[in-house]
Structure 1
């Protein structure tokens, strides 16, 4: 169990936001039309933002050449036309200058490689005056098959609002998950404090709980996470399948735990059936079948972006909830150490590693997007040259499609994403705050409420900075200070910081959480006993 959790947690701190400048190539022959993906540089090419304002051009096929030189073509022979050539051999600016010499009004470069935003040097950008864009070579072949050589093209880039409704849904989903995870952890602690005895055949609520109580173990835990992330960077092609299998098992188990808790809360009968000397629960059997089925369906259809995100988010919410309930931090000191180390971890692997990796790649972003997706340190996303190819991605993020990104969906379906780590890590502190409310018998749950609000504000700030900077942000950079400082301030104002820092009134022997001193010595109900 511990090893499985370590592998999962080692890769859940992966979150990024993608930004790419994409446009639409509208191809028609008078009676038929079809749209294809384009990638362009908005600072280099001025493209209309609507089809009605886009200028139509006759398309000339020059894919038999890379157009680094005129190659026998006469000056102004392509006057006012759009021309498509092959990518390679020379710089984009050189191709554009030759196209301009021939009189072309638009340059399309067909690519058999993954496509990023076309970049030219400063000198070249001053000389290039025609729109320049990349398109998939397979798209051009498809257009030829549909329209033959009678093609008229228009280029336009629909405006995409900076604030997409998907971000609001992501915000609500994250706050719901963290709030419910913290609430469940506190409820389980209250049940344990009350001495509730599980009925026959029912597992103890804390039977699988793991507690982090030693600073040295926390440090070792983070070091192992760093090692796992580096291994994922170098051996992604193989380890991604290991993570996928573990996620299927862990999410199915977590979903069962969540659904079983809901059934218990609403008073649903277990429907025990006896068979000789043994008995089995029909409810448990049914839940097991449902959870395994959902995990298997996700595993089989994990690359079907159009709808599988719903199932991934469902399994992800269950995984995060169960994690926050199962993993407990024994005191605020451990919370500070763990969250601070993970903040450094997040910032280092996002912002510092590009200085040490080839081509300035961020290890965190590269692993989060997957090498096949071509993640870059600057937040740019490479569009695959083959639209039918699916690349394996780590199942460690919540994903919600961007509703306004209609044009971008031609290139690749766009998502607002948030890593599980940005829910789980602050969520562990929220869970600790709720358990502390239980320990001090605080009916208003002041610590739990204030930490949840701090998490919500921190997440809003994260999204706001992302939208303003147009770059993916390490969310822990904002969530950790907001939650830690708020919790500490509440404890200081209530003059309970010493107790809040020390946490439980007993020292933990090991992960089984056997106490040396019972709760009775701290004023809790119970008989005082000596060890």
Structure 2
């Protein structure tokens, strides 16, 4: 960091990022121990030869020079010979650590660092030409408090999404008898993931990641548009069950022949759709406002993840294992292997997620949860002012212990981590262990944990469509498949199940028991099944 203050007093000092090599000379970790020296604007010179030195040298100053074509060693050797106490080199290109060899490092005793051209202009605009600067290198804390916020959001999203999906699945199985002929369906249909879909999905992910790496400035706006549409849909899906339960706003659109509107949706649902779309548009317009736009992005992201967790289902543990293992290899390859394949030596995954440093648009991909750093380290100004967690790390596995291991690896290695490297083993191992403990691994692997056609109660009367006579009362109950029990379904609170009462065949006809809904059998007292 370079701390800048005006020599004439006035406004408070400000920190700017510099990139330095500690092998030239070490900088103090504490600003209070750093010397506050005069900054000499010598940017009209590249300081590559002795004639570039001022007549009186740089006595107890820190010169600011242009980059030029000579080596860092030639510049810093001239600056040190001229009495400078440090050297700042202005660069319009991507900042790189100023390097040299061991002999040059031993010869030089003053620090040398690179400052971006944009920051140089801001210094002179904010403080004028008469400024003093102090160079220091603060330590970076291992963990930031924002990790707690990300952990709560991620684990909470996975838990709530899993509960929502499971409760909806149970409710649908218990209400097969109810036809939804209303103007709007209460629930969206779920999509079961197949092995073919997994292969197509992974190929698309790889292709999109590579395309973003090479054509980031063109494709980033496509991703932003997709995020606005998908997140507004997810927000609508999350809020619509709450709005439908409100006692007000139940009026519907009049009869018409317009597409979709001919179903006469409720006015309140239309207003909700407009509100969700407006929220995503507001984020799209102000997405680069770092002070508060991240809150909208996280809210829309959580809603999108909940919608996907509710809609996309992995019907078998076999499909789940295939998907996780393939994505495990995908994540590790693009984080740890691609640095050896790129010219810059940077990971394709991290480069795309954080935005390439040479991007002309300086846009960031929105498909992440982001929380700003909460510690007081000035390094938050330099690199990664936000902690990020990709949506894929939320939608694919589940979860908490693996995320804690990810944070530990991030703190120890101080570099971007492929979260699936830790999440996938934790998910698969714990799932297998729990299934083995419950003796349900076979059902879990094949997805046969639910009874598709649960038999009716033996004392229920035959329906009108069933010509078969009712069995005798002493007929034994059919036993459920191993590991499964008959579904027990309470009547839905909105509409109690109808009671079928057959017409009397005579004055002394005995009363009949009510018919249970199809697929929902009262629990017999003589059967105790293992929960599936």
Band of TM-score, shorter chain: 0.7 to 0.9
Number of residue-to-residue matches in the alignment: 453
CA distance in 2, matches of 1:519, 1:94: 84
CA-to-partner distance for each residue in 1:436-466, whole Å, 9 max, x for gaps? xxxxxxxxxxxxxxxxxxx111101110111
2:469 aligned partner:
none
Separation in 2, partners of 1:125, 1:493: 61
Deviations 1:363-391 (A, max 9, x none): 212221222x35xxxxxxxxx9xxxx861
Of 390, 399, 403, the residue aligned with 2:374 is 403
Corresponding residue SS for 2:192: strand
C-alpha distance 119-464 of structure 1, shift in aligned 2 (>3 A):
farther
Picking from 180, 184, 198, the partner of 1:202 is 184
Give the 3-state SS of the residue equivalent to 1:348 in structure 2.
Answer: helix
Structure 1 residue 147: Cα displacement: 4.7
The structural deviation recorded for 1:52 is: 3.0
Whole-angstrom distance in 2 between the partners of 1:107 and 1:47: 12
TM-score normalised by the chain length of structure 1 = 0.79
Q: 1:499 aligns with which of 434, 443, 456?
A: 443
Aligned to 2:88: 108
Question: Where do residues 165-184 of structure 1 align in structure 2 (5 Å cutoff)?
Answer: 165-184=145-164
The residue number in structure 1 matching 2:312 is 327
SS at match of 1:90: coil
- CA gap of 1:250–1:485, structure 2 versus 1, over 3 A, is same
- Residue 5 of structure 2: aligned partner: 27
Does residue 302 of structure 1 match 2:282? no
Q: Is 1:211 aligned to residue 192 of structure 2?
A: yes
- Aligned-residue offset at 1:126: 2.9
Q: Which moved more, 1:187-196 or 1:329-338?
A: 187-196
Alpha-carbon distance in 1 for matches of 2:288, 2:454:
50
TM-superposed CA distance for 1:223, in Å, is: 2.0
Instruction: Decide which structure has greater helix share.
Output: 1
Relative to structure 1, is the Cα distance of residues 219 and 135 closer, same or farther in structure 2, using a 3 angstrom cutoff? same
Structure 2: which 5+ runs fail to align?
257-261, 456-479, 488-517, 521-532
Equivalent position of 2:47 in the other structure: 67
- How many Å apart are 1:409 and its aligned residue? 4.9
1:9-47 per-residue CA deviation (whole Å, 9 max, x = no partner) reads: xxxxxxxxxxxxxx1322321323442413233633433
Question: How far has the Cα of 1:524 moved from its partner?
Answer: 4.1
Any idea what the Cα deviations from partners look like across 1:205-261, whole Å, max 9, x if unmatched?
242x21113x23322321222122222222222221111111111100010000113
State whether residues 212 and 327 of structure 1, in contact with CA within 8 Å, keep that contact through their aligned partners in structure 2: yes
1:361 CA drift (Å): 3.0
Q: Is the contact between residue 160 and residue 405 of structure 1 (CA under 8 Å) also seen in structure 2?
A: no
Mapping of residues 237-248 of structure 1, within 5 Å = 237-248=217-228
Tell me, what secondary structure is at the counterpart of 2:252? strand
1:39 aligns to 2:18 (yes or no): yes
Find the partner of 1:89 among 34, 48, 69: 69
CA contact 1:252–1:315 (8 Å) conserved in 2: yes
Distance in structure 1 (CA, Å) of the matches to 2:71 and 2:213: 30
| Structure 1 counterpart of 2:498 | none
Distance 1:519 1:226, change over 3 A: farther
Report the counterpart of residue 275 of structure 2 in structure 1. 290
Cα distance in 1 for partners of 2:284, 2:44 equals 42
Question: Which whole-Å CA distance do the structure 1 matches of 2:352 and 2:279 have between them?
Answer: 25
Alpha-carbon distance between aligned partners in 2 of 1:465 and 1:117, rounded to the nearest angstrom:
25
User: Which residue pairs with 2:429 in the alignment?
Assistant: 485
2:53 and 2:78 in contact (8 A); partners too:
no
Structure 1: distance between partners of 2:290 and 2:79: 38
- For 1:457, the equivalent position in structure 2 comes to 401
Distance 1:211 1:89 in 2: 60
Deviation at 1:286, TM superposition (A): 1.9
Alignment of 1:215-254 (within 5 A): 215-254=195-234
User: Within the alignment, does 1:273 sit opposite 2:244 as a pair?
Assistant: no
Contact 1:166 1:416 in 2 (8 A): yes
User: What is aligned with 2:329?
Assistant: 344
Larger radius of gyration: 2
Aligned match of 1:53: 33
> Does the aligned pair in 2 maintain the 1:60–1:83 contact within 8 Å?
yes
Q: Quick one: distance in 1 between partners of 2:70 and 2:453?
A: 76
Correspondence for 2:413 among 462, 469, 472: 469
TM-superposed deviation, 1:152:
2.1
1:268-320 superposed Cα distances (whole Å, 9 cap, x missing partner)? 55512352476431220221111000111111111222211110000000011
Distance 1:336 1:519, change over 3 A: farther
Deviation string for 1:310-341 (max 9, x for gaps)? 10000000011101111001100000000000
Higher relative contact order (CA 8 A, sep 6+): 1
